[in-house]
Amino acid sequence: MARAALTEPGHTGRVHALTGPERISARQQTAAIAEAIGRELSFNEIGHEEAHRRMTPFLGAQTAAAVLDLLGRDVNDELLKVRRTVEEITGSPGRTFRQWATENAAAFGAV
């Protein structure tokens, strides 16, 4: 996708909204990574304030707040919309999260 946007005409000044080919929750992402690495993983949901407190030391308060706003409170149907942008630009469909997790299992400590 980045190669096409950087080397092909028609992308200057454009903003491309990117998603995978399906909506997937954080719980489903955790399950896909667990399957890819062959280990059981748990998923423990925490509140906005706790997440901000934990993220602030390595992201900074403003970036943590921005990330959490994108992932939580200010989410609307437009942000959750699945888009075909990757396929439209590259000619190939975007990969599912499960495919990505499988391809990158080593990064998660798979044996």
Instruction: Give residue-wise pLDDT tens across range 55-99.
Output: 999 999 999 998 888 776 556 677 678 888 888 888 888 899 999
CB 72 within 8 A of CB 55: no
For the segment 101-111, what is each residue's pLDDT rounded down to a tens digit?
A: 999 999 987 65
Rg (CA), the chain: 17
**Which amino acid belongs to residue 73?**
R
Whole-angstrom CA distances from 58 to 5, 52, 54, 62, 63 are 30, 11, 8, 11, 10
Give the domain ranges of the chain: 1-22+82-103, 26-31+41-80
- Rounded Cα gap, residues 92 and 83, in angstroms: 13
* Whether pTM exceeds 0.85: no
